[in-house]
Amino acid sequence: MLAKIFRRFINVNGRIVHYWISGKGKPFVLLHASPQDGRFVIEPLHELAKDFQIIALDTPGYGLSDPLKKNNPTARDFANATINTLIKLNINQCILYGTHTGAHIALEVAINHKKIKCLIIDGISFYSNEEKKQLLKNYTPKFKPQKHGEHLIRAWHHTRDQTIFYPWFNKKNRIKRKLPSPNYIHNVVISKLRAEENYIKGYKAAFSHNTYMAFAKIKTHTLLYSRKDDVLEKHVNRVKSFKQNIKIIKVFDKDELIKNINKNCKKLKFKSSKINTNQPSFISFININNSQQLIRIHGKENHKPVIILHGITKNSISTIKLQKELSQFRKVLSFDIPGNGFSENIKYKNKISSYSKNLYLILNKLKLRNASIISFDASAALAINTLDLYPSLFHSLILINPIILKSKNKKDFVKNFFPNLKPKKDGTQLITAWDYLLDSKLFWPWFKTNEINIRNLSISNNPKKTQQDFIQLMTSPETYHNYTKACFSYTQEIINKDIKTKTLLLGNKIDKADKFRDEISNIFKNSSKIEKPQSEKKLVNYINKFLAE
C-alpha cells in the first residue's frame, strides 16, 4: 500500500507555495508541466514514495501557489523561486525531477543551486528560433470569460487538441497515442482556468529558454529521459553530443521510467534533513479523521471567534473578503467543507451529523470556544445541527439567506437539484455547470423554470464573477453534492423548536428563496430578522454590531 499524499502550504518570503508530499526517505522534488499543478506529477510517480520522500511543488501561479510579481518571468525566475522554496523547506540536498516546463525550471535550479544531487529531465525541448517564434505567437490563447460560457468550449478543445497534435495549432502533426481520459482533460482545463493569465507565463518561460546553453552549463549528474509516449521524445536527437555528466536514457512509458529512476537513484548517498512542514497561520491543511481539509484563519485571538460556513457549490474563497473584514476585531475561521473545494470527503458523507462532528473536531483541534457561526444558504442546516449537538461551544448564530427544506420537498430536491457534472468525452459538463450557476440566480429551485419560480434578484452580467463560482464548483464536480444532500435531509420538522441562542437572520424578502427565512424564524426564541444589505460594507457593519451586543 502506497503512503498517503498530504497537502501543505509554506510561506516563502511572503509568497504562498502549495506542495504535495508523500513517503519517507531521501527528498525527491517534482516539478510539473504547464498549466498543471503538483498532483499531475505526484500521482503518476507515486510509486517512488516507497523509497523516497517525494515533494511535488505547485510552481508559481499554478495550482494553489501565488504567482511571481513579474509580467514575463523567465525560467531562471521560476528557478530562483524554487530554490528559495527548497531552502525554506530545509531541503539541503535532493534529487530534482522536472517534466516539460518543469524540466526547464529544474535545469536552471541545478545550474544555480549546488544542493541538487541528481537532476532528472523527463521530456525537454530544444527549439529553433523560428519554432520559438511560432510557439510564443500561437500556443497560448487567452480564455476570457464570456457571458454564455463559450470560452469553456474553446478551453476544452484547446486542451484536447494539445493531446492530439503537437503543436496543437498544426493539425498535420498528429500525435500517435490514445486520447487521455475525460477526467484528465477536465482537470487540465480547470487548472488552466484557475491560473487565469498566469497559465501563459510558464509556457512562455519554457519556449524562451535557451536549452542548448543551459545544458552546456550544467555540472550536476543528469539523467535525460527520452520517453516513447512523450511528444518531446526525439528532441534529444537535436543535440550532437552532451557532456559526460549527462546520461541519455530511452524508455517506453511511465512504468519503465519509474523502474529506471529507482535503479539509478536508490543507491545515491547524500545528507538529508527533516523537512520544515510548518504552515502559515492564515492558510493550511489539517487532518480530521483521515480527511485533509483546507482551513483559513484571519485575525487575532479573542474570546469570541467566528466560524464562516460557505454556501452550496462554493468553497472558503467565496467568503474570504467578508472573513478579512470581520477579522479586524476577532479571529475568524473558514474552511472548505468536506467534499467541496480542496477538502476531502468524510465518512458517512450523506449525514448532517457527520459534518457537525467534523466541525466540532476542527474547533476542538484549534481550541476555539464561545464561537459565533455565520452560515450561507443551505449551510444553515449544518449551523443549526451543530448548535443543537454542541450548544456549549457557541455564543451566537447568523444565518444569511438560510435554506432549510420541509420534509415534503426533500425527495424532489435530492433527485433534481444536482446536475451530473462528471467529465464527459465531449466536455459538455462545463456548459452544464455554467448554465446551472446562471439558472440558480434566475429561478428557485433552479430546475423549475416556471413563472412562479422566478427569483427577483438583481443579476450580475459579470462573466468573471460567474467564472470564479464555476471554478469553485468544478474543483470538486463529483463530490460537491454529498454535503448539500446532507443539508437537504435536515428538514424543518427535525429541528429543535426551542433554540435560545442569540440569532440574526438576514435575507431579501423579494427573493423567492426567502420563504425559508420566514418558515424557520419561529424556532428561535432570541432572534432578529433584517434585510440583507446589498453593500458588503454595510453587511460587515450589521454583523459587527450584532456580535458586539
In Å, how far from its chain's centre is CA 351? 25
Q: What is the rounded CA–CA span in Å between residue 255 and residue 241?
A: 27
In this prediction, residue 150 carries a pLDDT of 97
Domain range 6-129+200-265, its CATH number among 3.40.50.300, 1.10.275.10, 3.40.50.1820, 3.40.190.170:
3.40.50.1820
Q: What is the rounded CA–CA span in Å between residue 123 and residue 224?
A: 8
Q: What is the rounded CA–CA span in Å between residue 397 and residue 374?
A: 6
- pLDDT over 80 at 302, yes or no: no
- pLDDT over 80 at 503, yes or no: yes
- Cell numbers describing residue 545: 454590531
In this prediction, residue 76 carries a pLDDT of 98
Q: What is the rounded CA–CA span in Å between residue 374 and residue 395?
A: 11
Give the 3-state DSSP-derived string for 72-92, with helices as H, strands as E and coil as C: CCCHHHHHHHHHHHHHHCCCC
Overall average pLDDT of the 103-129 stretch: 97
Overall average pLDDT of the 47-72 stretch: 97
329 or 130, which is more confident? 130
Q: What is the rounded CA–CA span in Å between residue 135 and residue 198?
A: 17
**For a pLDDT cut of 70, what percent of the chain falls above it?**
100
> For residue 254, what pLDDT band results from cuts at 50, 70 and 90?
very high
Which residues are CB-contacts of 150 (< 8 A; sequence separation ≥ 6)? none
- For 452-492, the pLDDT digits (tens) are 999 988 777 899 999 999 999 999 999 999 999 999 999 99
In this prediction, residue 272 carries a pLDDT of 83
Q: What is the rounded CA–CA span in Å between residue 480 and residue 337?
A: 9
Q: Is the peptide bond before 445 cis (omega within 30 degrees of 0)?
A: yes
- pLDDT over 80 at 303, yes or no: no
Conformational region of residue 72, where left means phi above 0, alpha means psi within -120 to 50, and beta covers everything else: beta
SS3 state of residue 380: helix
Q: What is the rounded CA–CA span in Å between residue 2 and residue 53?
A: 12
- For 142-166, the pLDDT digits (tens) are 999 999 999 999 999 999 999 999 9
Q: What is the rounded CA–CA span in Å between residue 297 and residue 97?
A: 33
Q: What is the rounded CA–CA span in Å between residue 128 and residue 210?
A: 10
**Burial label, 86 (beta-carbon count in 10 A; 0-12, 13-18, 19+):** buried
Phi, psi of 309 (to 5 degrees): -105, 115
The reply to whether 6-129+200-265 and 283-406+483-548 are identical in fold is yes
What single-letter DSSP state applies at residue 25? S
Look up the pTM and report it. 0.96
- Secondary structure E strands in 434-526: 502-507
Which residues are CB-contacts of 30 (< 8 A; sequence separation ≥ 6)? 38, 41, 42, 45, 54, 55, 56, 57, 97, 98, 102
The domains of the chain are located at 6-129+200-265, 283-406+483-548
In this prediction, residue 459 carries a pLDDT of 78
In this prediction, residue 456 carries a pLDDT of 87
The candidate with the shortest Cα–Cα distance to 2, out of 41, 37, 45, is 45
Query: Which position has the grid cell 527528498?
Result: 27
- pLDDT over 80 at 86, yes or no: yes
Overall average pLDDT of the 138-142 stretch: 97
> For residue 4, what pLDDT band results from cuts at 50, 70 and 90?
very high
Strand order in the sheet with 283-288: 283-288, 291-298, 332-335, 306-309, 371-376, 394-400, 502-507, 527-531
**Burial label, 423 (beta-carbon count in 10 A; 0-12, 13-18, 19+):** buried
The candidate with the shortest Cα–Cα distance to 338, out of 191, 480, 486, is 480
- pLDDT over 80 at 308, yes or no: yes
The candidate with the shortest Cα–Cα distance to 282, out of 90, 472, 9, is 9
Which residues are CB-contacts of 106 (< 8 A; sequence separation ≥ 6)? 31, 79, 82, 96, 97, 98, 119, 120, 121
Helix then strand count (H, E) for the chain reads 18, 16
In this prediction, residue 512 carries a pLDDT of 94
CA distances to 180, 421, 468, 488, 514 from 481, rounded to whole Å, are 26, 10, 18, 10, 22
Query: Contact, 361 vs 390, CB < 8 A?
Result: no
Overall CATH class of domain 283-406+483-548: alpha beta
- pLDDT over 80 at 353, yes or no: yes
Query: Contact, 350 vs 482, CB < 8 A?
Result: yes
The candidate with the shortest Cα–Cα distance to 34, out of 7, 64, 71, 60, is 60
Q: What is the CA angle 82-159-208, rounded to 5?
A: 45
Q: What is the rounded CA–CA span in Å between residue 493 and residue 274?
A: 54
